[in-house]
């Protein structure tokens, strides 16, 4: 039944139709009249149709973030005073578009392209939005090239589309062993544009990476490498991969196993953000972190006991966030550091011995730091230990405290 006419029904139905009619009138007044029909994307639209449809629109020579990049025929309806949203400055509309990008499950830098989500959906709302989206290279410069369950047959076309539309903008990408060889070749051809990269490594990908030229990926700042089970050969090659990225600042390494050649070959002195999810002995950890003079954020899981560490406390002048998982008491670890900029401390432990609760106070006094956030995950903490922690003078500056064990949660 059309909202404007009543063909049958009772008086209640008529009242309902009048409300719908008024709503539609107000909606048309708000949206105004478009110079072309709205093109929408629904679940029945194929990825191939979407790519081909968008590719028929000529890209502007200058993909700048200004109204100058938007064709006149798409801006003409703005002067009618009817379309409210068309009166938004292109710069504001572009900021809205950026906030429309869906977050990746694990990392918000990598968009999983889907035909019903931004940025692709933005190209199928109206002419004006399409040209604004195509003029913004940043919308197309971050994506996951993994095998998406809903657009698997067209992965190559999608990746090519994103690479073309991002032009020369630095890339933030994710790929791995589920990425087809042809798609990986597309990414390797743009090796010089990599800025943030997350890779699921296997022996074949390692071999392909080692075939790339050294000194080309000078824009890369963040590298995440994940390795699964039974990849001993892959682990051995990690030290030869790292020199491909001479200006790396952020390193994330995630593996069930570790290799003795890994830690000595990490460029610790230039790293600001470190995340190691692999087994590291206490002595190796202290020795390696002692070289992290620029570190601001460190997360390590997990630290296992070792022989005695015979060295003076290590000073990390810029470290603000420290997050560790260890099997021993936290005091045996913190005693090796001086951290004048520390404001966030998080640790997880399952130690069976009594806690050295004074270790946190000693760290604060030794470092002259002001703790603002403290998260403790201690599955075997006793009540006396908890009382000891809460009595520490250095905790008076806390803005956030979270203590968890099996029996109690204190927030």
Q: What is the pLDDT of residues 132-154, one digit of tens each?
A: 999 999 999 999 988 654 445 57
**Domain final residue pick, 114, 145, 160:** 160
Pair 110, 198: CB distance under 8 Å: yes
User: Which residues, listed in sequence order, are joined to residue 344 by a DSSP beta bridge?
Assistant: 321, 373
- pLDDT of residue 343 exceeding 90: yes
- Identify the pLDDT of residue 410: 54
Cα-trace Rg, the chain: 28
CA distance 346 to 275: 14
Which two tokens mark 371?
A: 């703790």
Q: How many domains does the structure of the chain reveal?
A: 3
- Identify the pLDDT of residue 40: 38
* Of 152-166, 234-248, 311-325, 373-387, highest mean pLDDT: 311-325
Q: 3-state DSSP call for residue 360?
A: helix
Cα torsion 259, 260, 266, 268: sign: positive
Residue with tokens 């005695």: 308
Interacting residues of 260 by C-beta distance below 8 A, sequence separation 6+: none
The answer to whether residues 401 and 383 belong to one domain is yes
Report which of 167, 157, 170 is spatially closest to residue 120, judged by C-alpha positions: 157
- pLDDT of residue 23 exceeding 70: no
Which two tokens mark 399?
A: 């803005």
Domain span including residue 150: 36-160
The answer to whether residues 20 and 69 belong to one domain is no
Interacting residues of 72 by C-beta distance below 8 A, sequence separation 6+: none
The answer to whether residues 21 and 54 belong to one domain is no
Q: What is the mean pLDDT of residues 44-51?
A: 43
Interacting residues of 2 by C-beta distance below 8 A, sequence separation 6+: none
Q: How confident is the model at residue 311 (pLDDT cuts 50, 70, 90)?
A: confident
- Identify the pLDDT of residue 241: 92
The answer to whether residues 345 and 388 belong to one domain is yes
CA distance 403 to 360: 14
Q: How confident is the model at residue 178 (pLDDT cuts 50, 70, 90)?
A: confident
Pairwise pLDDT comparison (330 vs 37), residue with the higher score: 330
Q: What is the pTM of this model?
A: 0.77
The answer to whether residues 41 and 153 belong to one domain is yes
């Amino acid at each position: 039944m059309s909202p404007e006419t009543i063909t049958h029904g009772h008086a209640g139905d008529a009242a309902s139709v009048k409300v719908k009619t008024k709503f539609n009138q107000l909606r048309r007044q708000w949206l105004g009249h478009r110079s072309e029909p709205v093109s929408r994307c629904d679940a029945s639209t194929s990825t191939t149709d979407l790519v081909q449809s968008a590719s028929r629109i000529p890209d502007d020579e200058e993909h700048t973030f200004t109204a100058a990049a938007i064709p006149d025929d798409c801006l003409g309806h703005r002067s009618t005073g009817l379309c409210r949203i068309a009166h938004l400055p292109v710069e504001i509309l572009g900021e809205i578009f950026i906030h429309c990008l869906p977050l990746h499950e694990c990392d918000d830098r990598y968009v999983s392209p889907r035909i019903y989500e931004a940025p692709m959906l933005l190209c199928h709302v109206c002419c004006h939005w399409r040209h604004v989206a195509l003029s913004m290279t940043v919308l197309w410069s971050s994506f996951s090239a993994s095998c998406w369950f809903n657009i698997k047959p067209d992965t190559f076309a999608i990746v090519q589309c994103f690479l073309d539309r991002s032009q020369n903008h630095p890339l933030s990408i994710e790929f791995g062993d589920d990425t087809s060889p042809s798609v990986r070749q597309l990414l390797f051809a743009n090796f010089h544009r990599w800025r943030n990269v997350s890779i699921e490594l296997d022996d074949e990908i390692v071999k392909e990476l080692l075939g790339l030229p050294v000194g080309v990926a000078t824009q890369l700042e963040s590298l995440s490498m994940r390795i699964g089970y039974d990849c001993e050969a892959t682990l051995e090659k990690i030290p030869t991969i790292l020199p491909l990225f001479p200006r790396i600042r952020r390193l994330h390494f995630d593996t069930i196993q570790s290799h003795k050649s890994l830690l000595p070959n990490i460029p610790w002195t230039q790293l600001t953000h470190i995340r190691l999810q692999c087994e590291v002995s206490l002595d190796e950890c202290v020795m390696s972190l002692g070289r992290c003079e620029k570190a601001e954020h460190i997360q390590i899981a997990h630290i296992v006991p070792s022989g005695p560490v015979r060295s003076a406390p290590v000073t990390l002048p810029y470290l603000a966030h420290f997050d560790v998982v260890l099997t021993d008491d936290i005091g045996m670890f913190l005693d090796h550091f001086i951290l004048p900029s520390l404001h966030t401390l998080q640790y997880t432990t399952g130690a069976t011995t009594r806690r050295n609760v004074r270790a946190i106070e000693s760290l604060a006094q030794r470092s002259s730091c002001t703790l603002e956030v403290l998260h403790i995950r201690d599955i075997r903490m006793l009540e006396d230990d908890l009382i000891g922690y809460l009595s520490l003078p250095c905790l008076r500056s806390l803005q956030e405290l979270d203590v968890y064990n099996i029996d109690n949660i204190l927030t």
